[in-house]
Amino acid sequence: MIQSEELWLKNTFAVDYFSIDAVLTGEVLSAYYEAERILTGADTILKRSCKCALPDLKKYVTLKLKKFLEDEQNKCCTVRS
């Protein structure tokens, strides 16, 4: 993951798009696809062919984003001895 992707996840996706109540359509859906691509380290976006798969996408991105943000928080707060 490159620095610009990390910044996008923290400053754009987490602030502007990520929400438990988010409806995955249009720009929000595109942002979730991009977040998934970054969080998995993929080169391309894996679009779903059925709307029935979107709740799983949302759950997956939620779990991965929370872990990413926790890891980032721990990086900043780790005391070096």
Helix, strand, coil shares of the chain as percentages rounded to 5?
Answer: 70, 0, 30
Residues 6+ apart with CB under 8 A from 8: 34, 38
Average pLDDT in the chain: 90
Structure tokens, 81 = 């001895």
Can you give the residue ranges of every domain in the chain? 3-75
Q: Is the pLDDT of residue 19 over 90?
A: no
Mean pLDDT of 43-69: 94
Indicate the pLDDT class of residue 53, thresholds 50, 70 and 90.
very high
Q: Give the model's pLDDT for residue 80.
A: 57
